[in-house]
């Protein structure tokens, strides 16, 4: 080359080990350079990456799971962008962590590792999806009873993804899988926790929770009965829970729930909560 370098492509080797490298002329076979060595290693394999998607802003910690991975010569690349050494970490022969760099646009790129300082990269076809991050704009209802499971909320926002990893996080330590409705609406169960307020966020990849969030309130249970939710459409069909610490009704006992002049059958669960389905109503407020 113009820089005075000689470029050679290594031939295949039947086994791992060190090979002597000699440089000779093509005309008379005179040796120009000797005393060089080249180490052949078994090619590491990346079986999967998790998560396989992240935000355009980067910062997603991606786990590369595989076999035979080494710390020496380790480099990570997303598409054409190399990850700095400080954002790459060898954990074990089966796990390497890389922080995804930023991307100027939504795209799918190859996520690859090198174990010889960028000379060769893995080629298992692992792909990483860059996309807009989820944005939370509101939650309905915005409160629930503390210490009670089985409650559900609707989260409103933008850029929700139809992914297996879609999740809602209540506070910092309670995460549940979300059910995709549209790119602007998802449904999430509410984890049971003590009374107080928390921040609700959403992640499309189960890891990078939205910078935006909605305030969610857990109310304390009182001795009186509480209706959850306390409103619904006139078409009926809303699942209702009647909660109270002193209802005094036995498990699986049949009860009747009266909505104005209409009665429907209810049942008491093992948690002491009465559950019934709201009937239809001819008018708002009936």
Q: pLDDT band at residue 190, thresholds of 50, 70 and 90?
A: very high
What does residue 36 show for φ and ψ, rounded to 5 degrees?
-100, 150
Dist. CA 250–CA 256, nearest whole Å? 14
Lowest average pLDDT, out of 121-130, 187-196, 212-221, 236-245, goes to 236-245
Dist. CA 34–CA 41, nearest whole Å? 21
pLDDT tens profile 86-108: 999 999 999 999 999 999 999 99
**Which distant-in-sequence residues (6+ apart) come within 8 Å of 223 by Cβ?**
244, 245, 246
Q: pTM score, two decimals?
A: 0.66
Residue 242 confidence (pLDDT): 83
CB of 177 closer than 8 Å to CB of 155: no
In this prediction, residues 111-132 reach a mean pLDDT of 92
Q: pLDDT band at residue 143, thresholds of 50, 70 and 90?
A: confident
Mean pLDDT is highest, among 9-23, 106-120, 221-235, 260-274, for 106-120
In this prediction, residues 245-258 reach a mean pLDDT of 67
pLDDT tens profile 1-11: 566 677 777 77
Lowest average pLDDT, out of 53-57, 78-82, 109-113, 280-284, goes to 280-284
Residue 86 confidence (pLDDT): 93
User: How many C-beta atoms surround the C-beta of residue 53 within 10 A?
Assistant: 22
Residue 171 confidence (pLDDT): 92
At 12, list the tokens.
Answer: 């295949």
What mean pLDDT value characterizes the chain?
86
3-state secondary structure string across the chain? CCCCCCCCCCCCCCCCEEEEEEEECCCCCCEEEEEEEEEECCCCEEEEEECCEEECCCCCEEEEEEECCCCCCCEEEECCEEECHHHEEEEECCEEEEECCCCCCCEEEEEEEECCCCCCCCCCCCEEEEECCCEEEEEECCEEECCCCCEEEEEEEECCCCCCCCEEEECCCEEEEEEEEECCEEEEEECCCCCEEEEEEEECCCCCCCCCCEEEEEECCCCCCEEECCCCCCCCCCEEEEECCCCCCCCCCEEEEEECCEEEEEEECCCCCEEEECCCCCCCCC
In this prediction, residues 122-137 reach a mean pLDDT of 94
Q: pLDDT band at residue 41, thresholds of 50, 70 and 90?
A: low
Q: Which residue is listed with tokens 């180490």?
A: 39
Residue 27 confidence (pLDDT): 67
Q: What are the beta bridge partners of residue 153? A: 188
Residue 123 confidence (pLDDT): 87
- How buried is 42 (Cβ within 10 angstroms: 0-12 exposed, 13-18 middle, 19+ buried)? exposed
Dist. CA 149–CA 99, nearest whole Å? 36
Residue 219 confidence (pLDDT): 81
- How far from the centroid of its chain's Cα atoms is residue 254's Cα? 41
**Which residue, among 282, 265, 272, has the nearest Cα to 226 in the 3D structure?**
272
At 7, list the tokens.
Answer: 């470029």
Residue 274 confidence (pLDDT): 85
Q: pLDDT band at residue 82, thresholds of 50, 70 and 90?
A: very high
């Amino acid at each position: 080359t113009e820089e005075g370098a000689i470029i050679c492509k290594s031939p295949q080797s039947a086994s791992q080990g060190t090979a002597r490298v000699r440089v000779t002329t093509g005309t008379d076979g005179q040796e120009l350079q000797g005393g060089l060595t080249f180490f052949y290693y078994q090619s590491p394999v990346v079986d999967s990456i998790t998560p396989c998607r992240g935000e355009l802003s980067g910062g997603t910690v991606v786990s590369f799971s595989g076999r035979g991975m080494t710390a020496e010569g380790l480099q990570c690349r997303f598409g054409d962008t190399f990850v700095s050494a400080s954002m790459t970490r060898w954990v074990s022969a089966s796990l390497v962590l890389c922080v995804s760099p930023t991307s100027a646009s939504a795209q799918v790129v190859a996520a690859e590792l090198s174990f010889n300082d960028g000379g060769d990269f893995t080629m298992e076809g692992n792909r990483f999806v860059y996309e807009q991050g989820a944005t939370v704009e509101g939650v309905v209802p915005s409160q629930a009873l503390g210490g009670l499971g089985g409650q559900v909320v609707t989260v409103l926002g933008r850029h929700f993804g139809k992914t297996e990893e879609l999740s809602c996080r209540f506070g910092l330590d309670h995460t549940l899988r979300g059910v995709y409705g549209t790119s602007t609406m998802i449904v999430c169960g509410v984890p049971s926790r003590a009374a107080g307020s928390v921040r609700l966020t959403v992640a499309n990849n189960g890891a990078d929770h939205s910078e935006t969030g909605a305030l969610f309130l857990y109310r304390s249970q009182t001795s009186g009965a509480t209706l959850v939710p306390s409103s619904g459409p006139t078409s009926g069909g809303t699942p209702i829970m009647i909660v109270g610490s002193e209802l005094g009704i036995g498990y699986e006992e049949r009860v009747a729930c009266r909505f104005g002049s209409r009665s429907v059958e209810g049942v008491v669960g093992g948690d002491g909560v009465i559950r019934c389905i709201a009937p239809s109503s001819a008018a708002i407020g009936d």
